[in-house]
Every structure is written in structure tokens, then in C-alpha cells.
Structure 1
Amino acid sequence: MISILSRSALISAYGRSGYCDEVIKVFETLKSSGLKPNLVAYNAVIDACGKWV
């Protein structure tokens, strides 16, 4: 099972690479797996998608 920290790191990496669609997919997977997103995960999503909009 992948931890919330690992998924947040994955979100950040996708965001830096410009893959906003993948950012959303990983975030949705995080939520659907039963993990509660923390501040780091939310910040990573906002930062990633805010750069590429």
C-alpha cells in the first residue's frame, strides 16, 4: 500500500513535469483508497495545477 507521503511526492513530480491530468488521477486514487488527504497533498495539487492552467 502506498502511503500519503508517497502519493504527495508523486503528485508533486507530475506537477513539475506538467502532467496535470495525472495529478488529478493520483489525487482521486488517494481519496478512493480510503486515505484522507492532508495539507501536503492538497498543496501539491494546487501548486501543480496552478502552474499549468
Structure 2
Amino acid sequence: MDFWNIFEYAAWGISGLLLLWMLFDAVQVNRDFSEELLTSSREGELEDQSEKHELT
């Protein structure tokens, strides 16, 4: 195996890790916040909600 094959496998590995990270984050956001809040157009509501969540 030459350098470029190793580089290619490393790139695929990093891509897979990024995919898993994005899926984990999507599940976590879906669990922590309601769909109504996430699709709201009111600015700052999400920030206020997360600050209250951290204080309690």
C-alpha cells in the first residue's frame, strides 16, 4: 500500500466519524428540544430555553 491508499482510508474513516457525530447530535437536539421550538422564528427563545435548562 502506498501513501495515497492510506490517505484515502483515513479520509473515509474521518468521514464516517463525522457522520456518527452528526447523527448523535441530531438525536440529542431532537431529545432536548421540541419541534415547535426548533421551527420557531422568534429570536432568542432557544437561547432562553437552554439557559433555563442549565440553571435547573
For the aligned pair, the TM-score class normalised by the smaller chain equals: 0.3 to 0.5
Per the normalisation by structure 2, the TM-score is 0.35
Per the normalisation by structure 1, the TM-score is 0.37
Structure ID, larger Rg: 2
Between 1 and 2, higher relative CO (CA 8 Å, sep ≥ 6) is seen in 1
